[in-house]
Structures are given as C-alpha cells and as structure tokens.
Amino acid sequence: MSNLQNPILSGISRRDVLRSGLIGGAGLALAASSGLSAFAQSTVPKRGGNLRVAFLGATPTETLDPHAGVVQQDFARALGLYEPLVEMQADASIKNALAESMEPNADATEWTIKLRSGVKFHDGKTLSAKDVAFTFQRIVNPKAPLSGAITLAPLDVDNMKVVDDLTLKIPMKVPFAVFPECICSAVYYAIVPEGFDPTKPVGTGPFKFQSFTPGQQSTFVRFDDYHGGGAYIDTLTITSFASDVAAFNALQSAQVDALAAAPLSLVRQVGAGGAIKALVSEPGQWTPFTMRVDQPPFDKPDVRKAFRLLVDRKQMIDIALSGYGEVGNDVFSRWDPFYDMSLQRTRDVDQAKFLLKKAGEENLAVELVTSDFANGVPQMAQVFARQARDAGVTVSVRQVTPDVFYGDQYKQWNFAQDFWLHFPYLPQIAECHLPGATFNETHWGNEQYIKMYNQAVGTTDPALRKEIVHALMKIDFEEGGYIIPSFNKMVDLLANNVEGLTQARTGYAMGHFGWKSVWLS
C-alpha cells in the first residue's frame, strides 16, 4: 500500500511485476496492452541479422556431410541444414521432427514410419518416403559405411518398403524397440534427398547452404519455406579458428557474436556486466577415464572398483573444471528418462587400499594417457594422479597430441580418457559397450550384459525395459571400465545482444545449436 502512495515507486513495482511475468512467459499480452511497448520489444524475439559464431579447432577435414561429421562445427552445421526423423531437444527429450509417427509391430521386428506432409527440401522438392529409404541405405552402404552404420545394423535395408509417398516400412533383422532414440539427431541420421551430394548440400533444416571453406568459414541463409516456425536470424556465419585467443579477441572486438564451447581459461576473463555474457549449459558432456577390462591390471574388477573409490570427484571438478560440472557416479546418459539416480559413490581410500591388497596389486604403478581434446581433460588426469597417491597407486601421466591420441592406438590405450556428449542409455551402449562397437575403449563385453542389452532393445514394454536398464546400470556401476567423475558443463561466450539460447543438457554448444530460437536484439 505504501508503494501505491509513491508514484515513482509504484511505477517501478509495476514494471517489476511485468518483467517477472514476461520471464515466466505469461505477461506478454499484458505488457503489450499496458503501453510499455518499448520494454516489450526488447524481449519479443526480433527477426533479422547475421549471427557470426566462432568455433575452435579449425581443420581442413571439416565436412558438410551430416553422416560423416567429426568436429563440433560439423555438428553445428548439420543441425542448421538438416533434420532427422525424431530429434533430441536441448532438454534431452525426444520429439518428432520429420516423422509424424514411428510405430513398431508387436515384437519390434518391423517399424512403420509416417512422414510429416508438405515438408520441402531446400531445392524445392517435397520430402517423400523414398528419401528416407535412400538415407538409411546411404549410411549403411557396405562399400562405404558412414558413422551411423553400426547403430543401424539391425535394419534390413534391402527389404524396406515404400508404402506410399509418406509411409515407409522398415523390417528389422532382430527385435529393435529403441529405433527412434537411436536415430534422434541430425548428426549421423539426418534425412537427405535421393541422390544427395555433400558438396551441394540439400536438407530440410531451417537454413540453406550458401558457402563453405573447410577450416575457415561457412555461411547459411534462412530457409523461408521451412515447415516449422522459421528461424529469426537471416544468416548464420560459422567461422573456425585455430587459436582460442584469436577467437576471443574477435568476440571482444565485435567481429563475431559468439564463441561456442569456450575454454574455461577464457571464461574466467569475462567479468559480469561487460559486453560479453556467458551461457553456462546444464551438465551433459562427460570425459571418462577408460580402463581396459581385458588387460591387467584392470581385468580384475577389484582394481577397477578401487580406482573408482579413490577419486575425490568434487575436488576434481573444482580444480580441473573450475567448478563447471556435476558429480558423476560412473554411469553414463545422465538425462535418460530411466537414469538411476540412486547409484552414488563417495571417496573411500581405505576401501580402495583394501581392494587393491585383495587383488594382489599393492603399490600398483600405471600409465595414464591423456590429451587436450576437451576442457579440463589433462587437468583431470593430473588430479587423478595426485588423488591416487593417497591409496599408494603411482600414476604417471603421459600427454599426447589429439591426433596421436585418436590415431592408431586409440582404443588400445590401457588406461586413458575420452570424451562424450549426451546420448540415451541404450544407444550409448551400442556406441561404446558392445563388442565391435566403434568406441569400445574399455573392451567391455560381459556376456550377461550383452544378453540383457539385447533383451532391453527387443522389448516394446517400457516397464520391463526400465527394469533391465536399471540392472544394466547397476553392472556399469559395480564392474564397468569407466570412471565418470563428472558431467561437465560447457560455457559459450555471447555478445550481449545474442538472445534466445537455452541451457542445453546434451553437451552440444550454443544451447544445442539453437539456430531456430536464437535472435539478435
């Protein structure tokens, strides 16, 4: 009541109410009607402008082929140009994109895909079931298999049936109930038109291709016939930098509008209230230590467990990640709907010592191979070495360059580290925990585990699947070859006028490359 007596104070108060209403997303109409249009304009997304984003790690190997991307700028471009059938969102949920529905038969041996109608490719062609069939054939082509080939192995691509323009039936070689969550990204599973040529890329995404020079720059323009609500920005320019300092300087002198996935050393230089703001993501990336379960000393489960027990996870996050992380407990896929949060592990050096003694591995000395392929990775190795000393384990850290790390010896290292983005749990197992999987760094191949995995992906009953997933997670937690000390947050640095990006859970930069939602004020 006293506020109302003072006209100035009451004005501020009303504005505050409006502002909080707007943030909640509910006060929009109210603001417009109350005559505070100037205020409303600054929060209603504005169309137009060119968004210039800097990425680190420039390399001439960059590609526009969505099925063969390797570095994050490849993924960033893929999410602008293309769309998958179903798509993971920034909050890690999965929604239909080009598919209107995907239905399995009773035993999950055949899937029927119904496509959204009236979807246009950038060249004006309409999306049809034939394009989807072509896409899957392109990915698994036995003569030139692409990145998603192993995940799509259950598909019987030779017997796919185009029922009509918008309906495709895909038979499976084995029951495969988790098909949609396996193909939920434009990275690796983008739908491309028949006769696709990656040098003249055509997709259905919100942005059309304009130019591309690998390792330097690529430009895209908004696709005005996009089937969903189109993007706000007119053009998107992606520039690759070799030097993080140059990229940061470019941001500071307004030559770019954003620096995606900034190194934490640069993040520390950004003060509050300046011309640059930080977008801190939800924890999504994970950088595990990988122990080869088929080689001594890690073939002994007690040694693996001891190593997991000797990690002080909180300290590791504080030191190596400058606090940008959430404690992990050695089980991946943090945002899977079935994720078991009850699996928690705290540091216990005595127990670790006891287990090592039991395994006959007192005074163990191992080499840990590390490389600077993601924020904080070599630092995590150093912290681990320090913490291991408390349990009498000598860890000598060997740092190699990323090209050596991911060269011939990748997956041969006995004790090393790796880097992952968020992916649902069962598809993640197909990537890293099955014998023959592309990234099976730990050489995990427990028979019981594989049997349970096959059962889980073969059942259409979600309750049963959840039960099996929890049992699998329990095995990961007790015996697995990973130490996952944290789920890491990533930080994008944005110019103050870059708006509309959310805190993604997926480990992708720039709010899960939110090119559709981003706008410039």
Contact between 150 and other proteins by CB under 8 A: the answer reads yes
DSSP 172: B
Q: How far is the CB of 247 from other proteins (least distance, A)?
A: 7
What's the rounded Cα separation, in Å, for the pair 521 and 519? 7
| Size of interface with other proteins, in residues (CB under 8 A) | 42
Contact between 216 and other proteins by CB under 8 A: the answer reads yes
Name the residue nearer to other proteins (CB basis): 61 or 93.
61
Sole window of 142-150, 260-268, 343-351, 383-391 interacting with other proteins (rule: CB under 8 A): 142-150
Contact between 20 and other proteins by CB under 8 A: the answer reads no
Q: How far is the CB of 405 from other proteins (least distance, A)?
A: 9
Count of H-run helices and E-run strands, the chain = 19, 23
Sole window of 31-39, 234-242, 300-308, 458-466 interacting with other proteins (rule: CB under 8 A): 234-242
According to CB under 8 A, which one of 211, 265, 342, 396 is a site residue for other proteins?
A: 211
Name the residue nearer to other proteins (CB basis): 199 or 363.
199
Name the residue nearer to other proteins (CB basis): 307 or 482.
482
Sole window of 215-223, 335-343, 375-383, 503-511 interacting with other proteins (rule: CB under 8 A): 215-223
Q: How far is the CB of 187 from other proteins (least distance, A)?
A: 11
Which residues does 396 contact at the CB level (< 8 Å), separation at least 6?
A: 365, 366, 367, 368, 385
- The secondary element (H helix, E strand) that includes residue 369 is strand 365-370
Contact between 143 and other proteins by CB under 8 A: the answer reads yes
At 192, list the tokens.
């491309």
Name the residue nearer to other proteins (CB basis): 175 or 507.
507
What's the rounded Cα separation, in Å, for the pair 452 and 460? 14
Contact between 521 and other proteins by CB under 8 A: the answer reads no
Name the residue nearer to other proteins (CB basis): 166 or 493.
493
Cβ(31)–Cβ(19) under 8 Å? Answer: no
Q: How far is the CB of 229 from other proteins (least distance, A)?
A: 30
Contact between 399 and other proteins by CB under 8 A: the answer reads no
Contact between 337 and other proteins by CB under 8 A: the answer reads no
Query: What pairing do the DSSP bridges indicate for beta strands 50-56 and 235-241?
Result: parallel
According to CB under 8 A, which one of 29, 144, 280, 365 is a site residue for other proteins?
A: 144
Cβ(160)–Cβ(91) under 8 Å? Answer: no
At 56, list the tokens.
């680190």
Cα–chain center distance at 414: 26
The 10 Å Cβ neighbour count of residue 478 is 13
At 380, list the tokens.
């995590």
Q: How far is the CB of 250 from other proteins (least distance, A)?
A: 4
Q: How far is the CB of 242 from other proteins (least distance, A)?
A: 6
- The secondary element (H helix, E strand) that includes residue 370 is strand 365-370
Which residues does 402 contact at the CB level (< 8 Å), separation at least 6?
A: 371, 372, 373
**Which residues in 90-119 contact other proteins (CB under 8 A)?**
none
What's the rounded Cα separation, in Å, for the pair 459 and 465? 7
Contact between 407 and other proteins by CB under 8 A: the answer reads yes
Q: How far is the CB of 218 from other proteins (least distance, A)?
A: 9
Question: In the 3-class helix/strand/coil scheme, how is 226-284 assigned residue by residue?
Answer: CCCCCCCCCEEEEEEECCHHHHHHHHHCCCCCEECCCCHHHHCCCCCCCCEEEEECCCC
Name the residue nearer to other proteins (CB basis): 111 or 196.
196
Cβ(90)–Cβ(516) under 8 Å? Answer: no
Contact flags string 239-258 toward other proteins, x per CB under 8 A: x-xxx-xxx-xx-xx-x---
| Residue position matching structure tokens 């088929």 | 294
Which residues does 41 contact at the CB level (< 8 Å), separation at least 6?
A: none
**Which residues in 30-59 contact other proteins (CB under 8 A)?**
58-59
According to CB under 8 A, which one of 215, 230, 392, 445 is a site residue for other proteins?
A: 215
Name the residue nearer to other proteins (CB basis): 111 or 419.
419
| Residue position matching structure tokens 């990323």 | 402
Q: Amino acid identity, residue 129? A: A
According to CB under 8 A, which one of 165, 294, 403, 461 is a site residue for other proteins?
A: 403
Which residues form the interface with other proteins (CB under 8 A)?
Answer: 58-63, 68, 70-71, 143-147, 150, 199, 211, 213-217, 239, 241-243, 245-247, 249-250, 252-253, 255, 403-404, 406-408, 410, 438-439
